[in-house]
Amino acid sequence: MAFKRFIVGNTSYSFAMQNNLALVDKTRFIERLDNENSLVPVFLRPRRFGKSLLVDTLYCYYDKSMEGDFEQNFKGTWIYSHKTPKASSYYCLRFDFSSVSSNPSKVEKSVALAVEIGLSDFTDRYPELGLPYEELKQSQNYSPDGLIKDFVMNFKSHAKEGEKLFILIDEYDHFANDLLSSDKEDFKEITSTAQDHEGFVKQFYATLKQFYGGSRLAPIERFFITGVSAVSLDSLISGFNIATNISTDPQFNAMAGFTHDELSRFVDETVDFSALAQVTKDELMSVMERYYDGYSFSNDGQERVFNSNMCLVFLSSVMKAGSRKSCQEMPATML
């Protein structure tokens, strides 16, 4: 049997599929998202729980530029046999706020840079619809909301009837949580809703809301937003009352992380037990159940889930060490 490789920390769905890496199939949740009443869902999970990989999966499924790779990216998955009408139908714009600085003097500049990176990526894929590079570098567009306004206005002037935007925001609260824990006054500064002094974060989300609606005048039709905690949710996106927190919805309980059956199949695909000294699958599963299982994000959730990243780090370490001793002792060193 040929065992599949996996890469700890991989966040690229297309890279995994096109290189035949082991990957847990979460595509059944795409149909659920398409049927969800809200077009602006917020999905919260702990860090290193697979949220970025989920965002990239949605990008590969919905973005028009990925249509030619649909067969390669999704053949063999659940959604391949249950393709929805919205597949490859949007112009996806992605923002990753995971690396934004929480330094009060740098945070706005850092957010603006993250926005600029997302817009540059869009322009790479859609030169005629994206904001020209020379405009991205203009100093007057340095604020995050200014960049968004100029981008959407340019998109509106060039997009055809029926062409819509899907905004993907990964780790919306990464920088805010760190800032809140270190300096509450600085946190209030960036999220202020006062008319005489609106925080730049409030302005950013207010601008996104302004262009939401799916019409030609408001071409943003959908969002998908990930984060870690609801602590910053109200403050950070105040004025953005179009969002719905789906984090505790039982139908999305296992959208990130591994269920027991998913992890069991993953182990079958990746672990060659003939190369491990005195380690059985039951023992491997038992250790992961003890240390990395037990998460449930809904009172009505039917399945508990494992911390996916911790499981992958553990499996990788045991496979390298190759012994029963490493299987028993490794988890304590990783906590």
43 has which bridge partners?
226
Question: How much is the pLDDT for 137?
Answer: 77
According to DSSP, the β-strands at 41-44 and 220-227 are parallel
State which residues of the chain have pLDDT below 70: 1, 139-141, 194-195, 231-239, 323-326, 330, 332-335
Question: 261 φ, ψ to 5°?
Answer: -65, -40
**Phi and psi at residue 194, in whole multiples of 5°?**
-60, 135
For residue 61, give the amino acid letter. Y
User: What is the chain's mean pLDDT, rounded?
Assistant: 90
| Rounded Cα distance, 161 and 329, in Å | 60
Q: What is the pLDDT of residue 135?
A: 85
Burial of 37 (0-12, 13-18, 19+ CB in 10 A): exposed
Contact (CB, 8 A) for 94 and 65: no
Q: What is the pLDDT of residues 135-147, one digit of tens each?
A: 887 745 578 999 9
Summarised one tens digit per residue, pLDDT across range 104-131 is: 889 999 999 999 999 999 999 999 999 9
User: Residue 223 and residue 124: Cα distance in Å, rounded?
Assistant: 21
Nearest to 163 by CA among 65, 53, 74, 256: 65
Instruction: Return the pLDDT at 170.
Output: 97
- Which residue is associated with the tokens 């969800």? 36
Half-sphere exposure of 281 (CA within 13 A, CB side): 14
SS (H, E, C) 197-245: EECHHHHHHHHHHHCECCCCCCCEEEEEEEECCCCCHHHHCCCCCCCEE
pLDDT at 201: 86
Q: In degrees to the nearest 10, what's the CA dihedral of 5, 9, 11, 17?
A: 0
pLDDT given at position 277 = 82
What gap in Å lies between CA 3 and CA 22, rounded to an integer? 9
Mode of pairing for the β-strands spanning 244-245 and 41-44? parallel
Cα(92)–Cα(87) distance, rounded to whole angstroms?
12
Note the pLDDT tens digit of each residue in 189-243. Answer: 777 776 677 788 888 998 999 999 989 899 999 999 999 987 666 666 666 889 9
Side-chain-side CA neighbours of residue 234 (13 Å)? 1
What are the C-alpha distances in Å from 273 to residues 11, 266, 276, 319, 320?
27, 13, 5, 9, 12
Domains of the chain: residue spans and CATH: 37-69+87-252 (3.40.50), 260-334 (no CATH)
